[in-house]
Amino acid sequence: MDHRSEHEKGDAPLARALAEQKGRVSFHMPGHRPGSSFLEPPFDRLFELDTTELPRTGDLAAPSGHVEEAYQLAADYFGAGRTWFITSGTTASIHIMIAATLREGDFIIIPRAVHIAAVHALALMGVNPIFVLPEKRKSFPDGQPDVASYVRTIQKNPNAKACFVTRPDYFGRTIDLSMIVKEAEKHDMLVLVDEAHGAHLAAAPDLLPQTGLFEGADIVCQSAHKTLPALTPASLLHLSQASVEKGAVDPLRVARKVKVFQTSSPSFLIGASIDRARQYLHQHGREAIERLIQKNDELTKNLPPYYQRIMPEGSDRTRLVLDYSKTGHDRRSFIRHLDLLGIDPELVDLSRAVFIMGLEQSDEDYERLLEALITLKPISDKAKLESHQNALERLTRERDQLLSESFHFHVPLREAMFGQKPDESVAVAPIAPYPPGLPIIWPGEKITRRHQNYLAVLSAGEVVTRGAELVFV
Ligand SMILES: Cc1ncc(COP(=O)(O)O)c(C=O)c1O
Does any domain span residue 79?
yes
Residue 55 near residue 67 (C-beta atoms within 8 A): no
Ligand 1 contacts CB of residue 87 (under 6 A): no
| Chain segment 315-358, per-residue pLDDT in tens | 999 999 999 999 999 999 999 999 999 999 999 999 999 999 99
Same domain, residue pair 248 and 313: no
390 inside domain: no
DSSP tag of 369: H
Residue 283 to residue 100: CA distance in whole angstroms: 33
Distance, CA of 349 to CA of 54 (rounded, Å): 46
Ligand 1 pocket residue status of 101, Cβ below 6 Å? no
Domain endpoint, select from 281, 298, 324: 281
Q: Which of 42-51, 171-180, 182-191, 425-434 has the lowest mean pLDDT?
A: 42-51
Cis before 168 (ω within 30): yes
Q: Which residues contact 353 (CB under 8 A, 6 or more apart)?
A: 321, 322, 324, 334, 338, 345, 347
Q: How far is the CA of 386 from the centre of ligand 1 (A)?
A: 35
Please tell me whether residues 235 and 295 are part of one structural domain.
Answer: no
Q: Which of 256, 281, 306 is the last residue of a domain?
A: 281
Q: State the CATH number of the domain containing residue 466.
A: 3.90.105.10
Tell me the CA–centroid distance for residue 91 and ligand 1, in Å.
Answer: 6
Q: Give which of 356, 395, 358 is closest to 169, Cα–Cα.
A: 356
Residue at 313 is within a domain? yes
pLDDT of residue 42: 80
> Is the C-beta atom of 117 inside 6 A of ligand 1?
yes
Average pLDDT in the chain:
95
**The predicted structure's pLDDT at residue 24:** 86
CATH number reported for the structural domain that contains residue 190 in this entry: 3.40.640.10
Gap between the Cα atoms of 98 and 159, Å rounded: 17
* Average pLDDT, integer, range 441-450: 96
> How would residue 2 be classed by pLDDT, with cut points 50, 70 and 90?
low
- Could you tell me if 262 and 351 lie in one domain? no
Give the number of domains in the chain.
Answer: 3
Does the beta carbon of 433 sit less than 6 angstroms from any atom of ligand 1?
no
Same-domain check for residues 206 and 305:
no
Q: What pLDDT sits at residue 43?
A: 80
Q: What percent of the chain has pLDDT over 90?
A: 88
pLDDT band at 268 (very low <50, low <70, confident <90, very high): very high
Q: What is the pLDDT of residue 400?
A: 97
Q: What are phi and psi of 353, to 5 degrees?
A: -120, 135
**Which of ligand 1's atoms lies nearest the C-alpha of 93?**
11
Are 81 and 133 found together in one domain?
Answer: yes
Give the domain range for residue 442. Answer: 407-471
3-state SS of 288-318 is HHHHHHHHHHHHHHCCCCCCEECCCCCCCCC
- The verdict on 163 and 60 lying in the same domain is yes
Query: Beta-strand (E) ranges in 9-167?
Result: 82-86, 107-110, 128-131, 162-166
Which is higher by pLDDT, 1 or 431? 431
pLDDT at 1: 60
Whether 391 is in a domain gets the answer no
C-alpha to C-alpha distance for 213 and 364, rounded to whole angstroms: 35
Q: Which residues contact 297 (CB under 8 A, 6 or more apart)?
A: 317
Q: What is the dihedral of CA 412, 414, 419, 420, to 10 degrees?
A: 30
> Which numbered atom of ligand 1 lies nearest the CA of 223?
10
Residue 353 belongs to a domain: yes
pLDDT category of residue 45 using cuts at 50, 70 and 90: confident
pLDDT one-digit tens code per residue, 89-148? 999 999 999 999 999 999 999 999 999 999 999 999 999 999 999 999 999 999 999 999
172-175 LR contacts (CB < 8 Å, sep 24+)? 172/197, 172/311, 172/315, 172/316, 172/317, 172/318, 172/319, 172/321, 173/141, 173/142, 173/144, 173/312, 173/314, 173/315, 174/209, 174/314, 174/315, 174/316, 175/144, 175/145, 175/146, 175/147, 175/150, 175/314
Region 455-469: mean pLDDT is: 92
- CA end-to-end span of the chain, whole Å? 58
Sign of the Cα pseudo-torsion (191, 124, 86, 112, in order)? negative
pTM, rounded to two decimals:
0.96
What tens digit of pLDDT does each residue of 151-201 get? 999 999 999 999 999 999 999 999 999 999 999 999 999 999 999 999 999
Residues 169 and 315 in one domain: no
Helix intervals (H) in 108-146: 116-125
Ligand 1 pocket test: pick from 86, 87, 88, 91 the residue with the most ligand atoms within 8 Å of its Cβ.
Answer: 91
Q: Give the type of residue at 428.
A: V
* CA dist., res. 262 & res. 89, Å (int): 9
Question: Is there a domain that residue 55 lies in?
Answer: yes
pLDDT at 334: 97
Nearest to 417 by CA among 107, 116, 163, 111: 116
List CB contacts of 74: < 8 A, sequence separation 6 or more: 80, 83, 85, 236, 274, 275, 278
Regarding whether 191 and 42 lie in a shared domain, the answer is: yes
- Of the candidates 225, 239, 299, 206, which has an alpha carbon nearest to the alpha carbon of residue 269? 225
Pocket test of ligand 1: the residue of 167, 175, 226, 261 to mutate, having most ligand atoms within 8 Å of its CB, is 226
Please give the pLDDT value at position 354: 97
Position 400 in a domain: no
How many residues are listed for the chain in this entry? 473
For 281, which DSSP code? I
Together in a domain, 184 and 244? yes
Mutational test site, ligand 1, from 165, 193, 223, 228, max ligand atoms within 8 Å of CB? 223
Provide the residue type at 243 as one letter: S
pLDDT at 27: 86
The helix or strand, by DSSP H or E, that contains position 466, with its residue range, turns out to be strand 465-466
Residue 339 belongs to a domain with what CATH number? 3.90.1150.10
Asked if the model's pLDDT at residue 35 lies above 90, the reply is: no
Whether 88 and 219 map to the same domain: the answer is: yes
84: alpha, beta or left? (left if phi > 0; alpha if psi -120 to 50): beta
Q: Which of 266, 281, 296 is the last residue of a domain?
A: 281
In a shared domain, residues 61 and 36? yes
The confidence band for 473, taking pLDDT boundaries of 50, 70 and 90, is low
Q: What is the pLDDT of residues 221-258, one digit of tens each?
A: 999 999 999 999 999 999 999 999 999 999 999 999 99
Considering the domain architecture, whether residues 271 and 301 belong to the same structural domain is answered as no
Q: Is residue 258 part of a domain?
A: yes
Q: Catalogue the E-assigned strands of 210-351.
A: 219-223, 235-239, 308-309, 319-323, 347-348
**Which ligand 1 atom lies nearest to the CA of residue 166?**
1
Give the Å distance between the CA of 115 and the centre of ligand 1.
7
